[in-house]
């Protein structure tokens, strides 16, 4: 388990982090979210001992040391590869830095290239690959040594939906193998889809911390998604409906004044008949993010 307690960091007159505390458990994925400059990368750099800080950071009950790094996979926001090396030499080099000999790494390379659908061979130089395929090689370098703690700084940046799905599968596979995983992202849909837990930072402080669904439920199930022949005006006139938004043909999102209104609304909208869609939900992470961060901090 990664345990962060009262982590603080100041850069000159800027308080980048202030009393940040949270845990990342084995076999779980934590999304670290917040606006630009909230302290996400500073948190990662503190975990990796790239910078000095106050507070404590422990991995499996011990401080993070040079020996610990072999158990960590880190993907920085700024990607960096040695482009004159071949794919195989690049991957085996990074694996050796993590304590894996070439004879251990080499037989595994082809499987990873296939898993990420890399267009290129192990003998190709990095500089001959497309930008997207270079990013896949960087991800393979991060994961191939089977780390138990995985830190990914904006891993989905620049990936198209197909390649983003490949990365999600790799992250979920590492989770199933028992790794503790933490990643930052500005895409709340990715966080909501694959994360078990989340921490939201605002101006270097934790403003939300908990299981994703628990955090969403804190804000109340005041959103209702329905598909109905009723018109927007008719829905807006129903008791307990604050606002109505059209999502598509006969598809609406209702904002409720009180989540308790949902039961009566079901009867009023369905009339006791089959209804294609009636789903009462808490706000999405994207909506919560906008509420907690605020437009002035975007």
Can you spell out the DSSP letters for 210-232?
Answer: EEHHHHHHTT-S-EEEEE-SS-H
The span from the first CA to the last CA of the chain, in angstroms, equals: 32
pLDDT band at 79 (very low <50, low <70, confident <90, very high): confident
- Looking at residue 296, its pLDDT comes to 47
Model pLDDT, residue 295:
54
Tell me the per-residue pLDDT of 183-205, one tens digit each, with 9 for 90 and over: 998 889 899 999 999 999 999 99
pLDDT more than 90, % of the chain: 84
- Of 272, 225, 271, 220, nearest to 244 by C-alpha is 225
| CA distances for 34 relative to 20, 52, 208, 222, 297, angstroms | 13, 22, 10, 24, 10
- Per-residue pLDDT tens digits for 89-145: 999 999 999 999 999 999 999 999 999 999 989 999 999 998 888 989 999 999 999
Whole-model pTM: value is 0.88
Q: Distance (Å, rounded) from C-alpha 170 to C-alpha 176?
A: 10
């Amino acid at each position: 388990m990664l345990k962060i307690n009262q982590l603080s960091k100041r850069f000159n007159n800027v308080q980048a982090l202030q009393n940040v505390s949270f845990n990342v458990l084995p076999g779980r994925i934590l999304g670290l979210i917040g606006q630009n400059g909230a302290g996400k990368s500073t948190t990662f750099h503190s975990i990796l001992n790239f910078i000095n800080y106050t507070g404590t950071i422990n991995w499996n009950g011990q401080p993070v040391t040079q020996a610990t790094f072999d158990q960590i996979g880190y993907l920085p926001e700024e990607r960096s590869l040695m482009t004159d090396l071949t794919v195989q030499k690049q991957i085996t080099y990074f694996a050796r830095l993590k304590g894996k000999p070439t004879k251990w790494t080499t037989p595994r390379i082809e499987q990873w290239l296939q898993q990420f659908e890399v267009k290129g061979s192990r003998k190709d130089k990095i500089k001959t690959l497309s930008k997207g395929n270079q990013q896949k090689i960087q991800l393979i370098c991060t994961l191939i040594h089977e780390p138990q703690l995985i830190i990914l700084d904006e891993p989905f940046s620049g990936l198209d939906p197909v390649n983003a799905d490949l990365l999600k599968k790799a992250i979920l596979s590492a989770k199933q193998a028992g790794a503790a995983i933490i990643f930052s992202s500005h895409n709340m849909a990715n966080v909501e889809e694959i994360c078990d837990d989340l921490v939201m930072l605002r101006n270097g402080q934790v403003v939300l911390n908990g299981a994703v669904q628990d955090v969403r439920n804190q804000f109340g199930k005041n959103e209702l998604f329905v598909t109905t022949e009723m018109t927007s005006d008719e829905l807006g006139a129903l008791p307990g409906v604050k606002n109505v938004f059209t999502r598509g043909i006969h598809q609406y999102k209702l904002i409720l004044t009180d989540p308790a209104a949902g039961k009566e609304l079901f009867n009023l909208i369905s009339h006791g008949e089959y209804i294609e869609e009636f789903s009462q939900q808490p706000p999405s992470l994207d909506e919560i993010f906008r509420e907690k961060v605020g437009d002035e901090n975007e």
